[in-house]
Structure 1
């Protein structure tokens, strides 16, 4: 594969082997934005890219696939709000059309076209999205907080007697998927493996396609069962919706909601718990009832959104964005984390953003995340249950010792060790 840099981008020299440590890695003239690494500083790289290139920077994705990383808040909004200029349909992606991207490429699970609402615009998008939003609203009204409380207590029961826990591996990583098994009509025993496979799809790499296949196999069996044994669940609702989704559309929307809801909610839950446990006044406010969880979530959405980089939009014509000449068919990825910290709209990150929901964490425009309410319910229920069960909860290590691992699309907290009265 002989990938070219985006039109107007400087060419990299000999790419060699990726530098250890992962995402993003500066190499040659173009920044590589792939791999995984612990202790990396994505925000430092975003700051350097902004200084060197402005609001839009040339980067290389996995396999040295060229793309434009949109760093500016206003530029992200322009892309999100204008699907006629920046389509979600990857079938117009020039590198794909010209045969430089194979169907088995590790980026395909995240960027490739599928018969789902995020891969399309206009009327096809509206038809498919209606089926998703209608059924998410239906399941959200069926006592989702009850499922959260039940599974949160089950998770806590496993470590409550020990006096110590890792709130990432023992709690946040799997709780959202356990709730989603109830929402989808799956067996709870499927939760752990589905959570692990979803994480691998987001990370990318050689195993991404294999894990994507595992998820699709489980969901295909689920859809087949629900056609003969319908229930009060999201899967049955999709199958019977008046939008009349075909088999592939049902399956791909199950995949879409499962992976995005699990990975973003688990990451956000871990970051919310980190924000609480590294700020004594915040923890005290929540325990006393003077502060609510939603205000903490709002702050985290601005500072460390669960999806740091959003794939992908494709230019429908030659145009200018942030002073850069983007060519028809170029791939753009949106720096949600970078945009939220854009000094042009947030010069002082120490100022409270309470009550300001104009962050980019939920994307925006026609493709804005439709599952915000369910994610919020899972996080609020999880935190409330945890603090009720373990009121003496404290961070077991200095806050500065907490580390994260970054991949192309996200940066996840590695561990969150805590102590409490057993």
Structure 2
């Protein structure tokens, strides 16, 4: 693990991203529940490693604000204009960058709109798309479940929930993946997502439907068009990345841990139980950038100065020996993990993410119960960032099944998750995003990973 001459460990760079969990434990051993670290540009920050301390920061907005304009290094001109932290430290009018009455107004619109979806309808919707994806691979006897399943399913479902036309699903999957990889075409993909959502807001203002875009527009909080657009974007991209990671991490665990799979197949563990265990052991987001001390304070025995950056260590907090003295012990039914953060900014769409993940995985395992990993587990690789690790590939083999040829695009289910038939308005078509560069190909671009702006919770 690379350290500076000052002895502070970097959370950026290949060494830290290769095995972040090992770094967290090294920091815990040296510093306790709160450790001084360096983020991109070797800027100082505090990484919260303790479970209790994470809850303290997440729940106490009076001491640790979400508004990035309080960052002292930014105010005093020490942050480069082209910092890769840009999307996480540049204020925009969304609920996860606000506190107090403004946050409550924006948050209420998001939460109450999401709550209008019928959970059974969402599961029927997920089942339809998951079956379509399985149809595309069933006859082959071999597939890579990351590009063929876990990367596809969340965006296909969320596209429909926000109200975008069905045909945008595959295009948005490619554009979102390209944005998250930060390739040379990422800015064009970013514009494609924005244009698609801009068109959707215009159309839904003219012809409302039963979808998230329409409900945000008509909510009594009276969001501006910009606020509607920003929140649609945050919901879409954040839900895509976190749910795709959750699906991939759960499938990897099922395929590589014989005890885990035996418990699942033997009925000792339900699929929702399995998801919660993965949310403890391998959460979709490792670290959240985005709390700033409102004044001088003490956290975990550390003297924190006003304007200091605080990082919520979700994965590290989940592994805190103070609450998990035996990391191998089962945590069935225990939802006190930090995977969705906590407090006023807890992820509001977590139940939808769970529904997409457990229903989709159930369909896959029911259709292909003999799935086996096609490579040695040591060959699996991840793409790491400060905030998360994304499994790059999960090759599997299974007995080929005959199936009807898949349609060009999944048909809409008979009933929308809101409980009514869907008749989507097709907005003017934005230019299709460019084909994403290969994972090792394009030059990386900075400041385009908007998914990192996780929603807050009231």
- Residue 337 (structure 2) aligns with: 359
**Structure 2 counterparts to residues 94-113 of structure 1, below 5 A:** 94-101=72-79, 104-113=82-91
Look up the SS of the partner of 1:250 in the other structure: helix
**In structure 2, do the counterparts of structure 1 residues 215 and 38 end up closer, same or farther at CA, with 3 Å as the change threshold?**
farther
- Residue 61 (structure 1) aligns with: 39
Look up the SS of the partner of 2:117 in the other structure: helix
Match of residue 343, structure 1, among 321, 324, 327: 321
- Residue 155 (structure 1) aligns with: 133
Aligned length, in residue pairs: 399
Query: What is the CA–CA distance in structure 1 between the aligned matches of 2:308 and 2:184, rounded to whole Å?
Result: 24
**Cα pair 2:17 2:386 within 8 Å, conserved:** no
1:372 aligns with 2:350: yes
**Structure 2 counterparts to residues 247-326 of structure 1, below 5 A:** 247-287=225-265, 289=267, 291-326=269-304
User: CA shift at 1:259, angstroms?
Assistant: 1.3
1:116 aligns with 2:94: yes
**Cα pair 1:39 1:404 within 8 Å, conserved:** no
- Residue 405 (structure 1) aligns with: 383
- Residue 8 (structure 1) aligns with: none
User: CA shift at 1:308, angstroms?
Assistant: 0.3
**In structure 2, do the counterparts of structure 1 residues 382 and 227 end up closer, same or farther at CA, with 3 Å as the change threshold?**
same
**In structure 2, do the counterparts of structure 1 residues 82 and 212 end up closer, same or farther at CA, with 3 Å as the change threshold?**
farther
- Residue 447 (structure 2) aligns with: none
Match of residue 49, structure 1, among 5, 27, 30: 27
**Structure 2 counterparts to residues 377-392 of structure 1, below 5 A:** 377-392=355-370
User: CA shift at 1:104, angstroms?
Assistant: 4.9
Structure 2: runs of 5+ lacking an equivalent: 401-458
RMSD (Å) for aligned C-alpha atoms: 2.3
Query: What is the CA–CA distance in structure 2 between the aligned matches of 1:301 and 1:88, rounded to whole Å?
Result: 24
Match of residue 154, structure 2, among 176, 180, 204: 176
Structure 1: runs of 5+ lacking an equivalent: 1-23
1:241 aligns with 2:201: no
Bigger RCO (CA 8 Å, 6+ sep): 2
- Residue 48 (structure 2) aligns with: 70
**Structure 2 counterparts to residues 322-333 of structure 1, below 5 A:** 322-333=300-311
**In structure 2, do the counterparts of structure 1 residues 38 and 321 end up closer, same or farther at CA, with 3 Å as the change threshold?**
closer
Task: Return 59-68 or 208-217, whichever deviates more.
Answer: 208-217
Query: What is the CA–CA distance in structure 2 between the aligned matches of 1:328 and 1:155, rounded to whole Å?
Result: 50
Normalising by structure 2, report the TM-score.
0.81
Query: What is the CA–CA distance in structure 2 between the aligned matches of 1:227 and 1:50, rounded to whole Å?
Result: 51
Look up the SS of the partner of 2:289 in the other structure: strand
Task: Return 198-207 or 354-363, whichever deviates more.
Answer: 198-207
1:227 aligns with 2:227: no
Task: Return 162-171 or 277-286, whichever deviates more.
Answer: 277-286
What are the superposed Cα offsets for residues 307-333 of structure 1, whole Å, 9 maximum, x if unpaired?
Answer: 000121000001111122111111111
What are the superposed Cα offsets for residues 173-232 of structure 1, whole Å, 9 maximum, x if unpaired?
Answer: 121001011101113433344334445655668876665444323221221121112211
Query: What is the CA–CA distance in structure 1 between the aligned matches of 2:80 and 2:212, rounded to whole Å?
Result: 33
**Cα pair 1:39 1:403 within 8 Å, conserved:** no
What are the superposed Cα offsets for residues 260-306 of structure 1, whole Å, 9 maximum, x if unpaired?
Answer: 10000000000111111123354355446553210000100110110
- Residue 420 (structure 1) aligns with: 398
Look up the SS of the partner of 1:143 in the other structure: helix
**In structure 2, do the counterparts of structure 1 residues 57 and 38 end up closer, same or farther at CA, with 3 Å as the change threshold?**
closer
Query: What is the CA–CA distance in structure 2 between the aligned matches of 1:33 and 1:365, rounded to whole Å?
Result: 25
**In structure 2, do the counterparts of structure 1 residues 39 and 318 end up closer, same or farther at CA, with 3 Å as the change threshold?**
closer
Query: What is the CA–CA distance in structure 2 between the aligned matches of 1:315 and 1:144, rounded to whole Å?
Result: 39
**In structure 2, do the counterparts of structure 1 residues 287 and 350 end up closer, same or farther at CA, with 3 Å as the change threshold?**
closer
Normalising by structure 1, report the TM-score.
0.88
